[in-house]
Structure 1
Amino acid sequence: MKTFETERLIMKLADLDDADFFLELYNTPSFIQYIGDRNLRTKEDAENYILNRFLPQFQKLGFGNYVVILKEDNTKIGAVGIFEREGLDVLDIGFSFLEKYEGKGYAYESANRLKEVAAIDFGVKKLSAITTKDNFSSQKLIEKLGLKFQKIITIPNDDAELMYYEN
């Protein structure tokens, strides 16, 4: 499952060629506000993040973080993934997009397709999602994906109270 598509999008497994893109995405104000500062300041930081965080999970599980690309012009617009997260017993679906591509249905289109592929190809039937209490657009999207709010949680090494959803 290195790549898959929707009508408007291509999702490809994140690799070192995406370092510049992740450096940009992970430093947007909304990413830092709602997801957190991953301390990526250079292309080398982004490459190390991909090597140490994304690729080991792909090797272990067969899936992970995907770059979302517009079919019409091959522009990288966001990322969607299913992750093992410390402190969560259920695999976590997550998404982030460059601000100019938010509100156009790309996050739902890509996350819903990833959810389908994970279920069919890997038997992943149960997913979770976490978001901050003030990230209303993510809450709406998570619910549209069929996950339901369960409880407020914290995850290791993070004091923020997060809304935890499961399907």
Structure 2
Amino acid sequence: MIITETERLILRRFTAEDKHAVFQLNSIPEILTYIPGEPMSSVDQAETILKDLVFPGYEKFGFGRWAVEHKADNKVIGFCGPTFVQEFNEVELGYRYLPEYWGTGIGFEAANAALSVIPSFDINHVIALILLGNRGSEALARKVGMTERGRDSFMGHKVNVFEKQL
């Protein structure tokens, strides 16, 4: 199901066929520098994430992390979208991309597109939980109009919390 499109991107729900892309986004050490947890070691782990976390989120809330598909090659190059974070009782806008797309404006384009449709899911406020030191994610949060709310901890790590009213 397509959520929204931009000139270069399609934001859509993940499907079971995206398991290899999910594995890639969770197994490349360079991507995971500021992500809690260990890199995935098998595609089965990606299938489990989809089956146990992503798809149930779509069912329960009507939204969740969305696949970011590049129109030029129909390849899933990352994710961007909202997810409910139980520990904060808030909706987080999260994003992650393959390194070859860093610095190309893809993150800004996808985040702006996501933020433009998130209110249609009855969400009027989002946060971003960014591990300390992740200057790229902080810059993107600021670029899409999020402001720093303060520090907290999440999954045992210190994070900067950004927020935006929609």
> TM-score, with normalisation over the residues of structure 2?
0.92
Q: State the secondary structure of the residue aligned to 1:96.
A: strand
Distance 1:108 1:152 in 2: 23
Deviation by residue 1:119-158 (Cα, 9 ceiling, x = unmatched): 1x22311000011121101001001111111111012xx2
Question: Structure 2: which 5+ runs fail to align?
Answer: none
Distance 2:37 2:16 in 1: 20
* 1:37 Cα deviation after fit: 2.8
Distance 2:47 2:111 in 1: 24
Distance 1:144 1:89 in 2: 24
* 1:38 Cα deviation after fit: 5.2
Counterpart residue number, 2:143:
144
* 1:69 Cα deviation after fit: 1.1
Question: Structure 1: which 5+ runs fail to align?
Answer: none
Distance 1:159 1:123 in 2: 30
Q: State the secondary structure of the residue aligned to 1:112.
A: helix
Structure 1 residue 9 corresponds to structure 2 residue 9: yes
Question: Does the CA-based 8 Å contact 1:27-1:37 persist in structure 2?
Answer: no
Question: Does the CA-based 8 Å contact 1:70-1:77 persist in structure 2?
Answer: yes
Counterpart residue number, 1:160:
157
Question: Does the CA-based 8 Å contact 1:26-1:37 persist in structure 2?
Answer: no
Matched to 2:87, the amino acid is: G
Counterpart residue number, 1:135:
134
Q: State the secondary structure of the residue aligned to 1:84.
A: strand
Matched to 1:101, the amino acid is: Y
RMSD (CA atoms): 1.4
Residue identity over aligned pairs, in percent, reads: 26
Distance 2:113 2:159 in 1: 25
> TM-score, with normalisation over the residues of structure 1?
0.92
Distance 1:132 1:47 in 2: 25
Q: Check 1:122–1:3 CA distance in 2 against 1; reply closer, same or farther (3 A cut).
A: closer
* 1:39 Cα deviation after fit: 5.0
The 4+ residue runs of structure 1 with deviation greater than 2 A are 36-40
Structure 1 residue 29 corresponds to structure 2 residue 29: yes
